[in-house]
Structure 1
Amino acid sequence: MIRIGVTSVFVDDQAKAEGFYIDTLGFVLKDKVPLGAYDWVTVVSPADVNGTQLLLEPDQHPAAKAYKTALYAEGIPVMSLAVDDVEEEHRRLEILGVRFQQPPTVMGPVVTAVLDDTCGNLLQLVAPVKP
């Protein structure tokens, strides 16, 4: 059986990303290993600390920068994050100063919102529409 162990998001500043993903979004630090100029930094959901790790990967490679810049310019989120209630998370994150590109919006069977992670990416929050 194949499972996703680690996936990554390219970030322009690992320290800033670590703060945002942990202090603002609520992830917890899984690993932080110094590797020269950068670190191997992964975060996980506190609901599943042994689940999929998100690597906060430096965007130093030209291809990574081009990919990230193009997605951001087109308004395309780099990933979707599942939440129980998009409207509730939107309110909580706005209080913390998070900038949203798209407020909670019903899109068929789901509600989505798109936020800026402060590190060059757009992230989508998604939850089923409440009955």
Structure 2
Amino acid sequence: MKIKLTNVYVDDQDKALRFYTEVLGFVKKADFSNGPFRWLTVASAEEPEGTELQLARNDNPAGKAYQQALFQQNQPAANFYSSDLQADYERMKARGAEFTMPPTDVTASKIAILNDTCGNLIQITQLTRG
């Protein structure tokens, strides 16, 4: 068994697609509509056939409440891994990413947190443990 899909709620799917592809460097995997519903996913450019991230519209009241509660509590909605956090931080910052926490050493890792401009905080982690 493996994880194939997970999601984050976003307040604007077009803006989210631009952010996740142009700033984070992911690639678009699926983008199709059925009436008002839009199925939109991205994946890591390093593993394009790997786990997909659905950029789900937060028009569901429960999803919207969940997204807003996480953001208000400064809790990341998703966590992505980097093998070189400092280089990824510099690359994303140059592309306009707004970091709420620059690369910071914590127990067994280094983390940075950024605002995805669509209602979420995203944590980037580089493991430093053996």
Instruction: Give the TM bin, normalised by the shorter chain.
Output: over 0.9
User: Counterpart of 2:88?
Assistant: 89
The equivalent of 1:36 in structure 2 is 35
Gaps of 5+ in 2: none
Deviation digits for residues 28-84 of structure 1 (CA, Å, limit 9, x no counterpart): 111111122231011111111111111010000111111111100110001110011
- Structure 2 counterpart of 1:80: 79
TM-score (norm 2): 0.95
- For 1:107 and 1:51, the matched residues in 2 are separated by 28
State the distance in 1 between where 2:103 and 2:128 align. Answer: 11
Q: CA deviation at 1:129?
A: 2.9
Partner of 2:20: 21
SS of 1:64's equivalent in the other structure is helix
Over 3 Å off, 4+ runs: none
Query: What do the CA deviations read for 1:7-39 (whole angstroms, capped 9, x no partner)?
Result: 111000000001110111111111111122231
Question: Distance in 2 between the 1:9 and 1:25 partners?
Answer: 15
Paired with 1:35 and 1:127, the residues of 2 have a C-alpha distance of 38
* Structure 1 unaligned residues grouped into runs of 5+: none
| 1:96 Cα offset (Å) | 1.4
More deviation, 29-38/62-71: 29-38
Q: How many pairs were matched up?
A: 130
Residues 29 and 42, structure 1, Cα contact 8 Å, conserved in 2:
yes
Alpha-carbon RMSD: 1.4
Match status 1:71 vs 2:70? yes
Q: What is the letter of the counterpart of residue 113 of structure 1? A: A
Asked if structure 2 preserves the Cα contact closer than 8 Å seen for 1:42 and 1:53, the reply is yes
Deviation at 1:112, TM superposition (A): 0.1
When normalised by structure 1's length, the TM-score is 0.94
